[in-house]
Chains A and B, each alone.
Chain A
Amino acid sequence: MSLADGPGFGARLKRARSRLFERGNGLLLLQTVLVYLFLYVPIFVLVVLSFNDSRYALVWQGFTTRWYEALLAGEVVARVNPEAAFTALAHSIEIAFVTVVVSTVFGTMLAFALDRHDFPGKRFLLGVVYMPIIIPSIVMGISLLLFFNLVGIGLGVHTAIIGHVAFDISFVAVVVAARLRSFDRTLEEAAKDLGATELETFRYVTFPVIKPGVVAGALLAFAMSFDDFVVTFFIIGNQNTLPIFFFSMVRQGISPGVNVIATLILVVTLAVVAAAQWIEGPIW
């Protein structure tokens, strides 16, 4: 180890490191491609397997649409009963619809209160608003279960709606408040100075500006409610929603019927999001 032997280990390491970083862009591109493959390959495989002409194997045996045809015709495919799935779907839509209406109205009002006013206890309230987003769903679901049990409210679709509104208010409030923060309030003052009443100001000035935020909040609320499993699982009693039905199917293993249901859920949720993007532009 003398200088005459050439550069030492440290220097050689440094040079290798530097060379690696010069190749950086290519390696980063490779890494990014791998991340996208990781995100999309499982979903792709799931969709492809729903067209697989085999009752059990995970190996491709040829293209078929017979699982779709059977389920849509009302036949039971490998334990998956389409009638039960349809009832569960109806519950999911009912819960999500009521939840979205209530939580969008309440959450938007809350966003106004938080954006436009300073009041004692505001920091505490902000903490409470963020908590349903942050705390584990299982804690939220079980605490509601204990509460309903203690108060003596029977479980069902109505209790699920109560729970969903409780977490969706927060999501709507956060999204709408973000939109309000960039709202130019002199527009409202101008409207009022020009003689608009408070309601007219809201209808013709404020709401059109914050509408994308409200729509985004409502869609987020819909997605959260429609997709929620954990909270619903504990507070819906013996009723089913689509995620709960799906969960019980998944537990029994992989089957063509489950693949079809999964693909249909995937297509519907992504269609809702795509529609939202198309109407409002990028909502994130």
Chain B
Amino acid sequence: MASETTSKRDSRGRSGAAIDAARNHRLAGLVVNLAPSAFWLGLFFLIPLGVMFYYSFGQRGAFGEVLIGLEYLGLDQYRTFFVPDGANVLEAIWYTLAWLVEFVVPFELAATDPTPYVQLTLKSIAYGLFATLVSLAVGYPAAYYIGRIAPEEYQDLLLVLVILPFWASFLVRIYAIQILLSGNSVLTNALGILPFVEAGASLMNSRLAVLIGLVYIWIPFMILPVYATIEQIDFTLQEAAMDLGADRFDAFRRVVFPLSAPGVVAGSILVFIPSTGAYVIPELLGGPDSQMIGNFIANQFGAAGNWPLGSAASFVLMGVMLAAIAVYLRYGEAESV
């Protein structure tokens, strides 16, 4: 700051009172530029989130009304969410871990399952992770092709073609997927040529449909950042690795892929966060068994009418997002800087 003032004096030949005036002027400029957005984001973004946080400590009355007087405040909703009836916190953690491990081991570990809410949260995270992994597996080779192999004059065109669907309406694209997955569509009839697949059988209202929808909508967000890092890579390093005896696979695994890691991390976060918090995609493409936490939250503010529990679930979902962003800040940005 001090050096800035002296340099100003040097370049403009101002001093003393003139600098003070300039500084006040700068301050006024800052306040004027900042005030409208700060006001709007404060009043219509932060305060509503605060209101929601407050609601999450309230209770639901006997007739579905919301009790948020001071005498009702407590952690009841979070307890309902995380801890099964009659268990303590340690048992709840054990039930959750055991439930996860039971997916890979054939025997039962714990006497009780975690609460349905915890199961739903973990299921939503699983959807997010699956969508991310599929997007990466499908999108990385495409990004590599666009960034490294495609002739330079076509790269911009190829990128625009990846971004274009993102500009087309979100709901229209989900509807387009719905058309393809419905019974007797072009796709479902074509799949009939595969063995064991019934021609024209609907793929809608299933977990597969939700997963396809998530990947379809968010895959551009994986391709773009991965392309951006691959385009920056100095490929003489790959040649050097191969001169030193690495085969193509090793050169890729140990040189190229690590160099593209920041893009992979960024793309993964960009796909994981909206996929885990999805509401419309499972609503339109999923069936009763493929609803996600977003649908649960919406339902608590609609038919189920339990606003405090819905608020608590929202903050659990936000906690998952924050954890994902923390991972990004730790592994993504740090490497790209």
B247 near A21: Cβ-Cβ < 8 Å? yes
Complex contact B294–A136 (CB within 8 A): yes
Point out the residue from B34, B184, B219, B294 that lies within 8 Å of A39, measured CB to CB: B219
Pair B52/A106 contact, Cβ less than 8 Å? no
Q: Which of A68-76, A83-91, A112-120, A203-211 contacts B (4 or more CB under 8 A)?
A: A112-120
Asked if A14 and B179 sit within 8 Å, CB to CB, the answer is: no
Q: Which partner residue on chain B sits nearest A129 by CB separation?
A: B41
Indicate whether B2 reaches chain A with its CB closer than 8 angstroms. no
Size class of the A contact interface (CB-based, 8 Å): 35 or more
Shortest Cβ distance from B130 into chain A, in angstroms? 16
For A189, list chain B residues within 8 Å (CB). Answer: 11
Q: Are A18's CB and B248's CB within 8 A?
A: yes
Q: Is A42 an interface residue (CB 8 A)?
A: yes
- Which residues of B have CB within 8 Å of A39? 161-162, 165, 216, 219-220
Are the C-beta atoms of B184 and A57 separated by less than 8 Å?
yes
Do B165 and A49 have beta carbons less than 8 Å apart? no
Known: A131-B45, A136-B277, A250-B171. A43 touches B145 (CB 8 A): no
Q: Are A43 and B168 in contact (CB under 8 A)?
A: yes
Q: Are A266 and B142 in contact (CB under 8 A)?
A: no
| Tally of contact residues, B, Cβ under 8 A | 86
Chain A interface main SS type? helix
Q: Are the C-beta atoms of B51 and A147 separated by less than 8 Å? A: yes
CB within 8 Å of A: which B155-174 residues: 156, 158-165, 167-174
Quick check: A32 and B321 within 8 Å, CB to CB? Answer: no
Closest to A272 in B: B167
Q: Do B145 and A29 touch across chains, with their CB atoms under 8 A apart?
A: yes
> Are B219 and A35 within 8 A (Cβ)?
yes
B108-125: CB near A (< 8 Å → 1, else 0) gives 000000000000000000
Query: Are A166 and B44 within 8 A (Cβ)?
Result: yes
Asked if B307 CB lies within 8 Å of chain A CBs, one says: yes
Q: Report the Cα distance A35→B223, complex, angstroms.
A: 10
Contact indicator per residue, chain A 127-148, by CB within 8 Å of chain B (1) or not (0):
0110110111111101111110
Does A146 contact B184, Cβ atoms closer than 8 Å? no
**Could you say which of B33, B175, B183 contacts A262, with CB atoms under 8 Å apart?**
B175
Task: Select one of A25, A41, A110, A143 contacting B34, CB under 8 A.
Answer: A110
Contact (A109, B37) CB under 8 Å given A139-B318, A143-B52: yes
Bound Cα distance from A140 to B51, whole angstroms: 12
Inter-chain contacts of A173 with B (CB < 8 A): 37
Q: Are A107 and B37 in contact (CB under 8 A)?
A: yes
Measured CA separation A262–B47 after assembly (Å): 36
Docked Cα-Cα span, A243 to B174, in Å, equals: 12
In the bound complex, residues from chain B placing their C-beta under 8 Å from that of A43 are 165, 168, 172-173, 176
- Flag if B321 contacts A134 (CB, 8 Å): yes
Interface 1/0 per residue, B78-103 and A, CB below 8 Å: 00000000000000000000000000
Check: A65 CB closer than 8 A to any chain B CB. no
B32 contacts across to A, CB distance below 8 A: 109
- Measured in the bound complex, the distance between the Cα atoms of B35 and A213 in whole Å is 21
Q: Which residues from B are CB-within-8-Å of A116?
A: 29-30
**Quick check: is A94 within 8 A (CB to CB) of the other chain?**
no
Query: Across the interface, do B173 and A144 meet the contact criterion of CB distance under 8 Å?
Result: no
A109: which of B36, B49, B139, B176 is its contact (CB, 8 Å)? Answer: B36
> Bound state CA distance, A251 and B159, in angstroms?
33
5 interchain residue pairs of minimum CB distance: A136-B277, A21-B248, A147-B48, A42-B176, A143-B48
* Chain B residues close to A by CB (< 8 Å): 11-12, 26, 29-30, 32-34, 36-38, 40-41, 44-49, 51-52, 55, 138-139, 141-142, 144-146, 149-150, 156, 158-165, 167-180, 182-186, 189, 216, 219-220, 223, 247-249, 252, 273-274, 277, 279-280, 284, 294, 297-298, 301, 307, 310-311, 314, 317-318, 321, 325
**Inter-chain pairs besides A137-B277, A246-B172, A269-B169, 19 sampled, C-beta below 8 Å:** A17-B248, A25-B149, A32-B145, A42-B177, A42-B180, A112-B33, A113-B34, A116-B30, A132-B41, A138-B297, A139-B52, A146-B307, A169-B41, A189-B11, A223-B167, A229-B280, A247-B280, A251-B284, A266-B172
Q: Could you give 28 example pairs across A and B, Cβ below 8 Å?
A: A18-B247, A28-B149, A29-B149, A31-B138, A31-B145, A32-B146, A42-B176, A42-B179, A43-B165, A46-B172, A58-B179, A106-B37, A117-B30, A125-B34, A125-B38, A128-B41, A136-B273, A142-B310, A143-B51, A144-B44, A230-B280, A243-B170, A247-B280, A254-B175, A262-B175, A266-B169, A270-B167, A284-B159
